[in-house]
Structure 1
Amino acid sequence: MAKLTEIDTAAIPGGRGHLRLLQRDDEFSIRIAGKPGELMNSRLHGSEDALAELACTRVADRAPIRVLVGGLGMGFTLAAALKSLPDHAEVVVAELVPGVVDWNRGPLGSAAGHPINDPRCRILIEDVVTVLEQSPGEFDAIMLDVDNGPEGLTRKDNDRLYNAQGLETIQRALTNDGVVAIWSAGMDPAFSERLKRAGLCVEEHTVRAHRPGKGARHTIWLGW
């Protein structure tokens, strides 16, 4: 089998290193330069799909409807959200790394079916925390696939999204009866308790990286 070949790099804002985009035929991988393993792979996106499906199916019958995806990644969560929502929905995507947006407009876009070209989609090259702070009561659903989940991997600053103050910011950005879905690479009982202490009703879902029922087990929390 041919090796994955690096086709581009993208700087992480704040001088926090670089992301690497690798390709082998129609398979793509995103990794952090200088660190082992990979952040995501285009063949293993079952849990990214589930993140959107779990959140959007709860609000899909609303009109109007506006949702936020925190972290564009390879575009799979965005694609699943668009598939789960009606034609009148607006899907806002906050992506911190400009290069990731460029990849989705270029070589990586075909992996998820070019979802950023959907007219319902609006891309913001911005820290998702900033978007949340500036959007009180605006989103029916918020889907967060930022870093590695509550246990930060690429940016220690992501802790401010998942601490008590960050959870308050998320709640303020939701509409009445809005829902937040948070992706994590693994289980985190302490974070489950933090969500409950923030006053949220919580469901914890274990989903597989590759469907049906294969690949690593990831965690998605739903809070409302």
Structure 2
Amino acid sequence: MKPTVRIATARTPDGGEMELFKHDRDFLIKINGQELMSSRQHESELELARLGCAHLVGHMSPGVLIGGLGLGYTLYQVLDMLSSSTHVVVGELLSAVVEWNREFLGELNGRLLEDERVDLKTGDIVTIISRSRSKFDAILLDIDNGPNAMTNSANRRLYCYEGVMACRYALRKQGCLAVWSVEPSKKFERLLTGCGFHVRRFRVPAYKGSKSEFRFVWVASENKAILPPGGGELRKLVRGESKKSHRVS
């Protein structure tokens, strides 16, 4: 039996310890001993791209922002499904994650960061989004564990009213915001609809074929017609309506 080997370490902005492990052909990242992501469970990261970019298939030159590089699966899926003239901005807070992708993770999905369609930006994703106005056709967010941030407490700014509205302003009129989460959140769903989005919630398998482990992806747009089919539809909050009366249909 092959051992699990720690091959790299780094510090998070909150001072936590981030570790990269390898077991045979699989890679695992932990934060303070708690699993953050694993190559054994990456189906939901692929689904984030499929759901968030479904409306862009066949478009000539779409612009996509990916918040969170991770192990590269979402980026891989975006590059695979969209045109050769797609422009993909990848925002990653942790420089160590970028270095690990370049040095260790090429065998997972190829050398994605060398693709000419990719524009890598290291830094705070909230800053990147706030400086973008009507720039993207899709924004795909896989930051921390979703609305309940684990790696960096500052990431919670992305999942508050100001963060969601910044995403809305950064999208073009026919754009979609897709958000990955390890668990459901009624509070975040109310926030999305309260910010003027039509929303669908998807429960997706953590790994291909899984019938017991799931993750969640919300896809939101001002244009209901371009949302992907399926999932659970959340009724948009209308002006003057109490958030307490909001129900999921």
Residues 185-204 of structure 1 mapped to structure 2, 5 A cutoff:
185-204=182-201
- 1:128 is matched with 125
CA contact (8 A) 1:74 1:109 kept: no
| Cα distance, 1:48 vs structure 2 | 0.2
Within a 5 Å distance, the mapping from 1:103-182 to structure 2 comes to 103-182=100-179
* Aligned-partner SS, 1:119: coil
Quote the Cα distance in structure 2 between the aligned partners of 1:128 and 1:109: 23
Match of 1:3 in 2: 3
Q: Is the counterpart of residue 97 in structure 1 residue 90 in structure 2? A: no
Go from structure 1 to structure 2 and tell me whether the alpha carbon gap of 1:40 and 1:214 turns closer, same or farther (over 3 Å shift): farther
Q: Report the more deviating stretch, 100-109 or 111-120.
A: 111-120
**How much is the aligned-residue C-alpha RMSD, in angstroms?**
1.3
Aligned-pair identity (%): 38
The alpha-carbon deviation at position 215 of structure 1 amounts to: 5.5
**Shift in Å at residue 100 of structure 1?**
0.5
Between stretches 3-12 and 94-103, larger displacement belongs to 3-12
Residue 64 of structure 1 and its aligned partner are, at CA, apart by 2.7
CA distance in 2, matches of 1:140, 1:113: 25
* Greater C-alpha radius of gyration: 2
Q: Secondary structure at the match of 1:91?
A: strand
Following the alignment from structure 2 to structure 1, what is the Cα–Cα distance between the partners of residues 138 and 76? 15
1:137 is paired with a residue of what secondary structure? Answer: coil
1:40-119 aligned within 5 A: 40-119=37-116
Q: CA deviation at 1:3?
A: 3.1
2:149 is paired with a residue of what secondary structure?
Answer: coil
Q: Distance in 1 between matches of 2:17 and 2:63?
A: 32
Counterpart of 1:54, as a letter, is L
Deviation string, structure 1 residues 112-143 (Cα, Å, up to 9, x no partner): 22222221111111111010011111010000
The CA distance in 1 between the partners of 2:211 and 2:29, in whole Å, is 20
Which amino acid is 2:68 matched to?
G
What is the 5 A alignment of 1:6-45? 6-13=6-13, 15-33=14-32, 35=33, 37-45=34-42
Distance in 2 (CA, whole Å) between partners of 1:128 and 1:99 is 16
Write the letter of the residue equivalent to 2:9. T
The answer (yes or no) to whether the contact 2:60–2:83 under 8 Å persists in 1 is no
TM-score, normalisation: structure 2 = 0.85
Q: What TM-score do you get using the length of structure 1 for normalisation?
A: 0.94
Q: Which runs of 5+ in 1 are unaligned?
A: none
Deviates more, 1:141-150 or 1:114-123: 114-123
Q: Secondary structure at the match of 1:58?
A: helix
User: What amino acid does structure 2 have at the position aligned with 1:208?
Assistant: P
Contact 1:10 1:97 in 2 (8 A): no
Between the aligned partners of 2:65 and 2:192, the Cα distance in structure 1 is: 19
Q: What is the CA–CA distance in structure 2 between the aligned matches of 1:8 and 1:155, rounded to whole Å?
A: 19
Query: How far apart, in 2, do the equivalents of 1:114 and 1:216 lie?
Result: 29
Alignment check: 8 A CA contact 1:47 1:210 kept = yes
TM-superposed deviation, 1:85: 0.6
Give the Cα–Cα distance (whole angstroms) in 1 for the partners of residues 184 and 213 of structure 2.
Answer: 12
